[in-house]
Structure 1
Amino acid sequence: MSLLVLAAVLAAAVLGLVAGAYARAVAAGFETQPGAQPGAQPGARPCGEPGGLRGEALPAFAAAARAVPLPRPPYVIEGATALAAALVTWRVHDGWVLAAWLYAVLAGAALAEIDRRTWRLPDAITLPSYPILLVLLAPSGRLLPAMASGCALGAVYAVLWFARPTGLGLGDVKLAGLIGLLTGALGVQATIVAGMAGQVLGALYAVGLLLARKATRTTEFPFGPFMLAGMLVALAFPDI
């Protein structure tokens, strides 16, 4: 690794700490759906409801904009965002694709924390991310393969949701399309690895819960963080 690349990676990690603090602040503004139970479909509430865009997301974004971007204990979100930003800067070399991936690091950090805590992947973040990524990827010359991969991975998750709606939510389907867009800009292989890695990581977590006797075979859990982790696995190990 050259000194220039090393400096860029270190700078990205530092900025990732700041971005992680903002992501944590945004995530703090989203609350669990009233009456929601484990296993309920995440992201099912439309933006027009009291907890939707007008009643929940805008205040959350406004509060995050006023927040002081300082990492706070236990530093999990900030640390994960810093590592993800460093990895993206190290592995992605095309400027426009890099910009898309760095945006995804910030949005993904917020989505992962929201899903972990509230069992939702809110439309207020996933849906605007589509035009943002499309605009960022368009100048790269990789928009068409990215769109094809996004449609393909989104379709796979749509089938999984239709087959077992209690195991996945529509928010997961929308997130899959975003992951397909990002990985598709790197190649079809990256999209395949991301999809498989997310499933494997989720399965390993489920097995761990079973071995620790903290869950049964029917226990559900938020799947968004594992999908996002699988995307990073595809970036780190594209040739798996």
Structure 2
Amino acid sequence: MALLLAVILGLIAGSYVRELAGGFGIDPEDTRKEAREAYAHAIRIVPVPRPPYLIEAATAIAAGLVTWGLHSHWSQSDGPHNGWLLAAWLYAAVAGVTLAVIDWRTWRLPDAIVVPSYPIVLALLAPSGHLLGAVTAGCAIGGVYALLWFGRPAALGFGDVKLAGLIGLLTGALGVEAALVAGLGGHFLGALYAVGLLITKRATRKSEFPFGPFMLVAALVAVLVHA
């Protein structure tokens, strides 16, 4: 029942994701105005899936996988705490799909989504009893990505660094193994994609591509590994 409800809510949320993501462009003159207009437009829509349904389906799948992965690991005695953890991850599923869509299209991870996600996730994780592990992993993964960005800023955007800290918070709440999978998995998936581009001759060794979607997929994989 929880899985079915999560998928249905994911489909509904996917309509908002589609509209919100569409409000962010490649190089806006005023990012604050852009964000205000994007949010204002998104909240006014009627949440009905529209063709080709890809974003709605992706949001529903992400919400369903998160719910399945977390539920399969829970014990009944820890129910209330589990609910807060699930709430944090369901929020992350919706925000994550939004960021993945925007980053893939514009090569941007807007602060208007990433930055507010920090207090939201922290507030949802606080009652779960996993806040210490979450903050520790968030600082660790965010710190590693910050060092990578400092060493090679052309290869990694600072938006990726901010996203890494957020992913660390979420996966750290699940444990060390999940945090490691998420922290390393993005690089592994990105490398596989790069190799695929080289093999099919659709890119060269100097070609670049947005990294955020691979980080977000790795975080979703971490939930399934946690299960």
TM-score (norm 1): 0.88
Does the residue aligned with 1:78 lie in a helix, a strand or coil?
A: helix
Preserved CA contact (<8 Å) 2:15 2:48: yes
**Is 217-226 or 91-100 further displaced after alignment?**
91-100
Preserved CA contact (<8 Å) 1:193 1:238: no
**Residues 69-123 of structure 1: per-residue CA shift (max 9 Å, x gap):** 1222222211111111011111224111100000101111111111011100011
Partner of residue 75, structure 2 = none
Partner of residue 29, structure 1 = 23
Q: What residue identity is the alignment partner of 1:87?
A: L
Provide the C-alpha distance between the structure 2 equivalents of 1:69 and 1:191, rounded to a whole number of angstroms. 33
Provide the C-alpha distance between the structure 2 equivalents of 1:161 and 1:117, rounded to a whole number of angstroms. 21
Give the one of 194, 219, 226 matched to 1:206. 194
CA RMSD of aligned residues (A): 1.2
Which has more helix, going by share of residues?
2
Partner of residue 78, structure 2 = none
Equivalence map 1:61-140=2 (5 Å): 61-93=39-71, 94-140=82-128
Does the residue aligned with 1:147 lie in a helix, a strand or coil?
A: helix
- The reply on whether 1:144 has 2:109 as its aligned counterpart is no
Preserved CA contact (<8 Å) 1:19 1:69: yes
Preserved CA contact (<8 Å) 2:182 2:218: yes
Partner of residue 3, structure 1 = none
Partner of residue 31, structure 2 = 52
Provide the C-alpha distance between the structure 2 equivalents of 1:190 and 1:143, rounded to a whole number of angstroms. 15
- Fraction of identical pairs, as percent: 65
Give the one of 8, 12, 17 matched to 1:14. 8
Provide the C-alpha distance between the structure 1 equivalents of 2:50 and 2:186, rounded to a whole number of angstroms. 28
Provide the C-alpha distance between the structure 2 equivalents of 1:51 and 1:110, rounded to a whole number of angstroms. 20
Preserved CA contact (<8 Å) 1:172 1:224: yes
Preserved CA contact (<8 Å) 2:69 2:226: no
Query: How far did 1:238 drift?
Result: 2.9
Gaps of 5+ in 1: 1-6, 35-49
- The reply on whether 1:166 has 2:145 as its aligned counterpart is no
Provide the C-alpha distance between the structure 1 equivalents of 2:191 and 2:96, rounded to a whole number of angstroms. 20
Does the residue aligned with 1:237 lie in a helix, a strand or coil?
A: helix
Does the residue aligned with 1:24 lie in a helix, a strand or coil?
A: helix
Provide the C-alpha distance between the structure 1 equivalents of 2:161 and 2:48, rounded to a whole number of angstroms. 33
Equivalence map 1:175-194=2 (5 Å): 175-194=163-182
Provide the C-alpha distance between the structure 2 equivalents of 1:197 and 1:12, rounded to a whole number of angstroms. 25
